[in-house]
Amino acid sequence: MLVELAIGDAYGAGFEYSPPEFVAEHNTVTAYVEHPTHLGLSPGDYTDDTQMTIAITELLLAGEEWSPTTLADRFVQGFHRDPRVGYSRRFQALLGSSSTGADLLARITPGSDRSGAAMRAAPIGLLPTIDEVLRHARTQARVTHDSVGGIESAQAAALAVHYCHHHLGPTRDIASWVEQTLREHGGHEPWATPWDGPVGAQGAASVRAALSALAGARNLRDLLQACVSYTGDVDTVATIALAAGSRTTDLDQNLPGHLYETLENCTYGHAYLRKLDEHLLARWPSSGP
């Protein structure tokens, strides 16, 4: 799952907010693409989406207290050991100048409704119960995105993985299930309404686009291409969708081999992500067939 979401992140990063003409020409899923204007990111490198997902994963596997402070600690540690681009300028500056999670929490204003909490929520979806998924997603969202939209979009992204990992139904029904589940817990977003057009920075937009792509997909290759074809914040859409899509038997797992082979393999790259995947799936196996 982490390897596939990193592939979605790295592939989508080459197209994030790129002109539609560039996306139409290069979105062939044949290779990672160098972004036409972003500097500091090479084809095959993942972004903050994957780095923060690693932080969430490591805390889950450590079995430590799930709290704003321990989460913030992991975010700060992850950035300092492996600084990379992709974060907003302000948040990157906060991470870089914070030495502990407590330091970050004391300086951040966490009211954003953007997609940062949703993009990193995937591993939470492996937990065995809906209540655990909702609670864990809410707590981690509140560190940086303590808003109605920020929290609900993080919960929706985690629920998408939960639905697929535990084989709760066909992928064509995933958006309806997410909407119904969140409505039962006080949610308000129209998750089942199909997304069309460019994806903005709000978490709800990224998750709705990912759910729409999942509902219409037959395989992972087409899913990745569909996520990027929206244009806009497509690396986040692809990260969310590929995490869920990799956990369902409904979709043919046919991502091209070269995307695996050329995904970055630094200290916290492909091999590290694969090890984390093994630990996650051994700890929280699927409860489905």
Contacts of 105 (CB under 8 A, 6+ apart): 68, 69, 72, 143
pLDDT of the residue at 23 = 98
**Which band of pLDDT confidence, cut at 50, 70 and 90, is reported for residue 246?**
very high
Residue 235: per-residue pLDDT: 98
Given a cut of 80, whether residue 39 has pLDDT beyond it is no
What pLDDT score does 242 carry?
A: 98
Residue 289 confidence (pLDDT) above 70: no
Signed CA dihedral, 237, 238, 240, 244: sign only = positive
Which DSSP symbol is given to 171? Answer: G
Q: Domains along the chain?
A: 2-48+113-283 (1.10.4080.10)
- Confidence band for 121, pLDDT divided at 50, 70 and 90: very high
> For the residues 13-36, what does the mean pLDDT come to?
97
Per-residue pLDDT of 189-217, as tens digits, reads 999 999 999 999 999 999 999 999 999 99
> What is the C-alpha separation between 155 and 142, in angstroms, rounded?
12
Which of these, 152, 139, 136, 140, lies nearest to 185 by C-alpha position?
Answer: 152
By CB atoms closer than 10 A (0-12, 13-18, 19+), residue 74 is: buried
Read off the tokens for 92: 């990157």
Per-residue model confidence as pLDDT tens digits over 50-79: 999 999 999 999 999 999 999 999 999 999
Percent of the chain with pLDDT over 90: 96
Supply the mean pLDDT for the chain: 97
Calculate what percentage of the chain has a pLDDT beyond 70. 99
Spatial distance between the Cα atoms of 207 and 258, rounded to a whole number of angstroms: 27
Q: What is the pLDDT of residues 136-159, one digit of tens each?
A: 999 999 999 999 999 999 999 999
Position 288 confidence tier, pLDDT thresholds 50, 70, 90: low
Q: Indicate whether 248 pLDDT > 90.
A: yes
Indicate if the pLDDT at residue 40 is higher than 90.
no
Query: Quick one: pLDDT at residue 287?
Result: 81
CB 44 within 8 A of CB 260: no
- Cα separation, 172 vs 164, in Å, equals 11
